[in-house]
Structure 1
Amino acid sequence: MITPSLEKLRQKIQAENLDAFLVTQMENRRYLSGFSGSSGALLITADRQIILTDSRYYQQVGQEAPEWELAEAGYDWPGYLAENLAGFGLHQAKIGFEAEAVSVAAFNKWREVLTDVTLRETSGLVMALRVSKTADELTAIRKAVALADRAMAHIYQWIQPGMTEKQVAWELEVFMRAQGASALSFETIVAFGPNTALPHATPTDRACQLGDVALIDMGCVVDGYCSDITRTFSLGEPADSRFMEIWRLVFNANAVAAAAISAGTTSLAADAYARDIIKAAGYGDYFGHGLGHGVGLAVHEAPKVSYTSEDAIPVGAVITIEPGVYLPGDFGARLEDMALVTENGLEILTGVPKIDILFR
């Protein structure tokens, strides 16, 4: 069965006045075909869909994408395509490609060998299809979120003073993989004390002490789909008297935004629901990043939920809500949930509690 998404893409290809389309971005390849290999390209025409890849993946294509043709292209699929243009019915064709996924060096190589076609750059044709999730995609995302919830709940029980950031990050990875994750969504962020003021801190050998702020941002991949969650807490009574003020501010900003966003809300407006609260409290300069982002096959994908975009957030998108305040040299706080966008508001998918003080 050819998926509805592939047929919708064919309509877009036709609307762009293209004869064929190359898909090289990894998540887009998987979304359209089911093929999860790390190398290759999809070649889509009006009546054919072909996977060009190397010998590492010939059997895998048959298993994951049985309704796609396999082109045994070896390690030089552009050269293979150039030699077989006539067989694909693409002599002097107009072929589109994903400009955002192709380096200048790769494009120059394509242009050198594909001299009998016109290469035409496009942007966002497949990503636009991926934004609103199908029922099957939501099932996988819910599994990934549930596993991340269990992992965070485990850390709430397991963490003790004296443990290092690296130890906690490793414990999370072992737990999630043992419970069925195929990978991490991204390199886990575990930060203690002043390191929590770094929004994307890298785990170090710093040990957590009673009174330290701890920030944990993590997620996992289940059935190809990602989760993403952040929790911030003080291990024992906070040493910094400002912690509870900041934590409650971020908690409130998260809750207000989550209650206000629905399908059709612009990214700019969604971001403002949280940002205006933080600004009003005098901490606007300490919330530098956007409110959130889409999550799916990639942990960061469309739609943006940010002051940098005025696009409307569509029904069926899965997004994060993650306001934060970061006081350089002291501490930071971020609280992040994943949510499904519906006509009537957000369905919060993340279930693990937000805890301000974790007593030990």
Structure 2
Amino acid sequence: MSFSPESFQRRREQVRKVLRSRKLDALLVTGERNVAWLSGFTGDSTWLLVTQDKEVLLSDFRFVTQIEEECPGVTGVIRSSSQRLTDILAETCGQLHVERCGFEGHLVTVETAELFRNLPDPTTWVSTTQEIEQLRAIKDRDEIAEIREAVRFAERGFRCFQAALRPDKTERQLSAELEHAMRGFGAAGFCFPAIVAVGDRAALPHYRAGNNLLSASPILLLDWGARAFSGYCSDLTRTMVTAKPDKTFEKVYRTVLEAQLAAIQKIGPGVRCGDVDAVARQFIAAAGYGKYFDHGLGHGIGLDVHEVPRLSRNSDVILKPGMVVTVEPGIYLPGWGGVRIEDDVLVTRQGCEVLSSLPKDWDSVLTAC
């Protein structure tokens, strides 16, 4: 799906409301995902300057045609090979009479921030934090459709992954086969390196697939996500067994599953993110595994696989319709393994909708082994 020029214009109008509230003449957007969200530009090394009545892409010769094709109605200012982006930034700010310009202080380096402030131009530079990311947190109908597609790619790939499980395959081989399958179904590829963890490696929440054979343990944890060609992501986790599980696995699995289901039930508009986290965390603690679950319950997804809001114990952010979050409690026992279950959940006006549909009940785990 390609987004209409009107969609990008509506997003830029949201930025202009931020400008007025912050008493800024312009905002310089440097983050690649943020530039893409506001303009449709899919290249790199390009900044977007948004004023109260104009939008200007600052770029170079490589992207002249791409800007014309992807960003109709947006002015492009192209630096020569003897110029830096900051040179044409200063010129453009001067021409547009920008006196106070915000920049993405959470994304630029200290060196770049100093370059802004030392430009030979009377513009005052003001550091801002996550202004565009906060706007991106609430997805419109077209964005939700793209996330649904990314979920479908991931789910179809998972079914091929299950069918390809063989004792003599390594974690890395299984990861490669999963990505190949998703690409065959139309995905751009993984949106992050898949976590394929056999046995005690499943106790490492962000493990990277290695050379462990599937036959080394009956426990197999898979955390993966597909990226659609629009750039939107999915993020799922399933823990499975390849042989009859022991009693510990059953207890841990059932605990994680019930914690996740309870947390999802809590999600809805007006609910504090920290309260959703608390539901799962308290359930796991009551089962005796509290110290083995100490990461956040989930996060937003969209053009980035990790976005705001965060479902964490200290988050006071209030959920709103259009937000899409992961819910991914886990229990990790060093030397034994771990269990995590993750789904993508859309906040609706009435409550929530789980976008992912892969089986996760205990009977499906037994059927798979």
Q: TM-score, normalising length from structure 2?
A: 0.93
* Cα RMSD, aligned residues only: 1.5
Does residue 1:126 correspond to 2:132, yes or no? yes
2:264–2:327 contact (8 Å) kept in structure 1: yes
Does residue 1:81 correspond to 2:89, yes or no? yes
Does residue 1:231 correspond to 2:220, yes or no? no
Does residue 1:356 correspond to 2:350, yes or no? no
**Paired residue for 1:262, among 246, 268, 272?**
268
Distance 1:216 1:49 in 2: 42
Distance 2:10 2:138 in 1: 13
User: Which structure 2 residues correspond to residues 112-261 of structure 1 after superposition, within 5 A?
Assistant: 112-209=118-215, 211-222=217-228, 223-238=230-245, 240-261=246-267
Q: Specify whether residues 221 and 72 from structure 1 end up closer, same or farther in structure 2 by C-alpha distance, changes over 3 A only.
A: same
**Paired residue for 1:307, among 279, 299, 313?**
313
Runs of 4+ aligned structure 1 residues displaced above 4 Å come to none
1:51–1:69 contact (8 Å) kept in structure 2: yes
Distance 1:196 1:281 in 2: 20
1:78–1:114 contact (8 Å) kept in structure 2: no
**Paired residue for 1:284, among 274, 290, 308?**
290
2:200 alignment partner, SS class: helix
**TM-superposed deviation, 1:105:** 1.4
Does residue 1:336 correspond to 2:342, yes or no? yes
2:45–2:59 contact (8 Å) kept in structure 1: yes
1:18 alignment partner, SS class: coil
**Paired residue for 1:274, among 271, 280, 296?**
280
1:235–1:358 contact (8 Å) kept in structure 2: no
Q: Which amino acid aligns with 1:263?
A: P
Distance 1:252 1:114 in 2: 60
Distance 1:292 1:59 in 2: 39
**TM-superposed deviation, 1:20:** 1.1
Distance 2:147 2:292 in 1: 31
1:237–1:359 contact (8 Å) kept in structure 2: no
Aligned to 1:295: 301
1:140 alignment partner, SS class: helix
2:240–2:368 contact (8 Å) kept in structure 1: no
Distance 1:195 1:358 in 2: 23
Q: Which amino acid aligns with 1:295?
A: I
Distance 2:134 2:109 in 1: 21
1:233–1:358 contact (8 Å) kept in structure 2: no
Distance 2:145 2:63 in 1: 27
Distance 2:120 2:340 in 1: 49
Distance 1:65 1:271 in 2: 40
Q: Which amino acid aligns with 2:365?
A: D
**Paired residue for 1:31, among 26, 29, 37?**
37
2:31–2:107 contact (8 Å) kept in structure 1: yes
**TM-superposed deviation, 1:290:** 0.8
1:85 alignment partner, SS class: helix
Distance 1:44 1:122 in 2: 14
Q: Which amino acid aligns with 1:39?
A: S
Identity percentage of aligned residues: 38
Q: Which amino acid aligns with 1:356?
A: V
Q: What runs of 5+ residues in structure 1 fail to find an aligned partner?
A: none
Q: Which amino acid aligns with 1:225?
A: Y
Distance 1:321 1:154 in 2: 24
